[in-house]
Structure 1
């Protein structure tokens, strides 16, 4: 990938797709805790609040759109900081995993508490570790990999 916008788009698209598929696979198929529709409605509820659950199929599309928007923002941010943080260039796997942890921290300790003032208390348990692992593998690693490919001829 030779263009900046193409690199950001591709890394955000891959990360967003892998992340939503992981959420569906884990929470809908394996754990049977929710449905795909409810996952997407809950994303849309960050903006539309309770209306997201009664607003019909358009809310599902808004939820998917917001999900990808968030993935693209994280892809853009990583792309922008990559040239300035030399440790990101040392190991794609380590930097991807660290970025996944960073994304978890931003989303769970800053964004979600702002958007949803009342959230369940977090405990250091399997669901918490699973959510961090998903972000490390399916957000951090793809974004780090695609971004490194863009910059590697320049390094």
Structure 2
């Protein structure tokens, strides 16, 4: 019985990370193309610049792949944190949609007010497009994490 639990636990973490990673990637590539005419490689070079600095923009596809890797790590971390919190906080299980939306907002806040300032990414001024980014994090990152993780806990 224990092995099945671990397998299912691993599956929910893997598939939630995949779903959220893809949804977030599509949102990022779409929004940054529509508003700033950035190509997907440029979006992920920006992500890579968090650890590579400005050299990420000269690194071609290799630095973009570093950005993709970082993106997946961040998606997994967000998924795992919610996975750990969900069974401990009854409010999350009773308010799955609101919890997911708030978690997406929290992810955006942590990334933009803590992680990005501590990284090598060049500081940027607030832009009205950031509101679109907040909404996408609430709806295509936080909400799916909450729905999928809570579905897992309903079945265990």
Report the Cα distance in structure 2 between the residues aligned to 1:117 and 1:24, rounded to whole angstroms: 18
Report the Cα distance in structure 1 between the residues aligned to 2:122 and 2:41, rounded to whole angstroms: 22
Secondary structure class of the residue paired with 1:84:
coil
Q: 1:17 to 1:117 in 2, by over 3 A?
A: closer
What stretches of structure 2 of length at least 5 have no aligned partner? none
Alignment of 1:87-102 (within 5 A): 87-102=91-106
RMSD: 1.7
Work out whether 1:75 is the aligned partner of 2:79: yes
Q: Which structure has more RCO (C-alpha within 8 Å, separation ≥ 6)?
A: 1
Report the Cα distance in structure 1 between the residues aligned to 2:30 and 2:76, rounded to whole angstroms: 22
1:120 pairs with 119, 124, 145, which one?
124
Deviation at 1:121, TM superposition (A): 2.9
Report the Cα distance in structure 1 between the residues aligned to 2:99 and 2:60, rounded to whole angstroms: 40
Report the Cα distance in structure 2 between the residues aligned to 1:118 and 1:47, rounded to whole angstroms: 11
Secondary structure class of the residue paired with 2:155:
helix
Match of 1:149 in 2: 151
Deviation at 1:145, TM superposition (A): 1.0
Report the Cα distance in structure 2 between the residues aligned to 1:12 and 1:38, rounded to whole angstroms: 22
Work out whether 1:17 is the aligned partner of 2:22: yes
Deviation at 1:32, TM superposition (A): 4.0
Give structure 1 regions of 4+ aligned residues with deviation exceeding 4 angstroms.
none
Match of 1:136 in 2: 138
Alignment of 1:18-33 (within 5 A): 18-28=23-33, 30-33=34-37
Match of 2:115 in 1: 111
TM-score by length of 2: 0.89
Report the Cα distance in structure 2 between the residues aligned to 1:117 and 1:102, rounded to whole angstroms: 20
Deviation at 1:117, TM superposition (A): 6.8
Deviation at 1:118, TM superposition (A): 4.7
Q: Is the 8 A contact 2:52 2:120 kept in 1?
A: no
Once the two structures are superposed, what CA deviation does each residue of 1:100-131 show, in whole Å capped at 9, x if it has no partner? 011011101100011047512336xx322211
